[in-house]
Amino acid sequence: MKHALLVWLLLTACSPRPSAVVAFAADGAAVTQLDLAATAAPLQPQTVTVFEPYEQRDVAFHALPATAVLDAAYGARWRKAEALGLVALDGYTTTVPVSRLLSHSAYFAISREDRADFVLDKKVPKPETVAIAPVYLIWDSAKDPVIRAEGDYGWPYQLASVNLTTFAQAFPGLAPPALGTAEAAEGFELFTRYCATCHSIDGHGGKVGPELNAPHNVTEYWQPQWLHQWIDNPQSIRKGTAMPGLPAHVPERQKAIAAVIAYLKAMTHGP
Ligand code: HEC
């Protein structure tokens, strides 16, 4: 009896695959949970080599295709949702548009091929080793130049749960009026990703840069062409400014800047 228990303990302790349980929800309500280290065929881990944005080199992971995992968790309905909230163990949430998962290849990684411990030896933003279990969301950055150019955007680690959501739910207080233009809606998505980390709208958002809507909207007191140029290249207006400008890799940059301005305008308070 004692021996059997000891053998069982040893087997469990030496088990090569620790569990990788992820909870799936929609609008905050639980849907299901899956242990990605113990899924049934045909949902099997495969070796996926990506350009790892924190280690800044190619790394091979054991990983499951994200679309197949999401199909298993939600059926087809996630494909019609607007966004995925990816929640880490500490509650930190990354919001990624569903369209990005449908147009680029993402994977839920559950272990590394080159080492036994599931960690990252980060080089950027600073050298440190971080644990990334239970799951790490990775993208096909080795073959996809658009994904590679975006660095670590959308690579949450210690991923514990996934929530089908909308940008309006994920960023309360920042959503433009429901009947606004498609351009403003696009600008809202861009703003949440590239601006809201530093700027607030009516107090919602980051505190590194100035508030952009209270009491007056920045589009009321900045001339349109200067505002466009500022977002494009702040240094060309104010030498030494701490504002970085819209990243160079953003596709259709001029259109993107116009959309951000349309969004800012849509947030203007009434007279
Ligand atoms: C890393 C932080 C950071 C990011 C990201 C950032 N900004 Fe800024 N922004 C600043 C800082 C800091 C200032 C003040 C700079 C100065 O006055 O020289 C500023 C100033 C501004 C101003 C001038 C405000 C005023 O009233 O003078 C506007 C407009 C602006 N940012 C818009 C944006 C937009 C739109 C984005 C996204 C595309 C963005 N910023 C992204 C930090 C940031």
Q: What HEC string does 100-131 produce?
A: HHHHCCEEEEEEECCCCCCEEEECCCCCEEEE
Q: In this predicted structure, what is the pLDDT of residue 6?
A: 55
Neighbours of 93 (CB within 10 A): 15
Tell me, in angstroms, the distance from the centre of ligand 1 to residue 211's CA: 9
* DSSP annotation string for 134-186: S-EEEE-TTT-HHHHHTTTTT---SEEEEEEE-HHHHSTTTPPPTT--HHHHH
Q: Residues 195-203: what's their mean pLDDT?
A: 96
Query: 151: which residues sit within 8 A by CB, 6+ positions away?
Result: 53
Picking from 193, 192, 182, the residue whose alpha carbon sits closest to that of residue 255 is 182
Tokens describing residue 217: 């909207």
pLDDT class for 179, splitting at 50, 70, 90?
Answer: confident
Q: Give yes or no for residue 233 having a pLDDT over 90.
A: yes
Q: In this predicted structure, what is the pLDDT of residue 15?
A: 52
Tell me, in angstroms, the distance from the centre of ligand 1 to residue 99's CA: 27
Q: Give the ligand 1 atom nearest the CA of 234.
A: 18
For 113-158, how does the pLDDT look when each residue is reduced to its tens digit (9 = 90+)?
Answer: 999 999 999 999 899 999 999 999 999 999 999 999 999 999 999 9
Tokens describing residue 262: 């349309």
C-alpha 223/C-alpha 211 separation (Å) is: 17
Q: Give yes or no for residue 50 having a pLDDT over 80.
A: yes
For 96-122, how does the pLDDT look when each residue is reduced to its tens digit (9 = 90+)?
Answer: 999 999 999 999 999 999 999 999 999
Tell me, in angstroms, the distance from the centre of ligand 1 to residue 249's CA: 18
Query: 108: which residues sit within 8 A by CB, 6+ positions away?
Result: 20, 22, 36, 63, 64, 66, 69, 135, 136, 137, 159
Q: In this predicted structure, what is the pLDDT of residue 180?
A: 87
Q: Give the ligand 1 atom nearest the CA of 238.
A: 18
Q: Give yes or no for residue 9 having a pLDDT over 80.
A: no
Q: In this predicted structure, what is the pLDDT of residue 251?
A: 87
C-alpha 26/C-alpha 81 separation (Å) is: 9
Contact by Cβ (8 Å): 114, 102: no
Query: Amino acid identity of 263?
Result: Y
Q: Give the ligand 1 atom nearest the CA of 246.
A: 38
pLDDT class for 178, splitting at 50, 70, 90?
Answer: confident
Tokens describing residue 258: 């116009």
Q: Give yes or no for residue 10 having a pLDDT over 80.
A: no
Query: 48: which residues sit within 8 A by CB, 6+ positions away?
Result: 60, 61, 62, 63, 107, 109, 138, 140
Neighbours of 259 (CB within 10 A): 22
Query: Amino acid identity of 157?
Result: Y
Nearest CA to ligand 1 atom 23: 210
Picking from 57, 60, 53, the residue whose alpha carbon sits closest to that of residue 148 is 53
Tell me, in angstroms, the distance from the centre of ligand 1 to residue 90's CA: 28
The kind and range of the H/E element at 30 are strand 29-35
Tell me, in angstroms, the distance from the centre of ligand 1 to residue 183's CA: 20
The mean of the pLDDT values for the chain is: 93
C-alpha 224/C-alpha 230 separation (Å) is: 10
Tell me, in angstroms, the distance from the centre of ligand 1 to residue 209's CA: 5
Tell me, in angstroms, the distance from the centre of ligand 1 to residue 201's CA: 12
Of 11-25, 150-164, 182-196, the one with minimum mean pLDDT is 11-25
Ligand 1 pocket, residues with Cβ under 6 angstroms: 194-195, 197-199, 208-210, 212, 218, 230-231, 238, 241-244, 246, 260
Q: Residues 71-95: what's their mean pLDDT?
A: 96
C-alpha 249/C-alpha 32 separation (Å) is: 37
Q: In this predicted structure, what is the pLDDT of residue 41?
A: 87
Q: Residues 21-28: what's their mean pLDDT?
A: 97
Nearest CA to ligand 1 atom 6: 195
Query: 62: which residues sit within 8 A by CB, 6+ positions away?
Result: 45, 46, 47, 48, 109, 110, 111, 112, 113
Most ligand 1 atoms within 8 A of CB, residue of 190, 243, 253, 255 to mutate = 243
Most ligand 1 atoms within 8 A of CB, residue of 192, 193, 199, 254 to mutate = 199
Picking from 153, 136, 161, the residue whose alpha carbon sits closest to that of residue 60 is 136
Kindly list the structural domains of the chain, giving each domain's residue range(s) and its CATH number in brackets, ordered by start.
Answer: 16-168 (3.90.420.10), 172-266 (1.10.760.10)
Contact by Cβ (8 Å): 237, 245: no
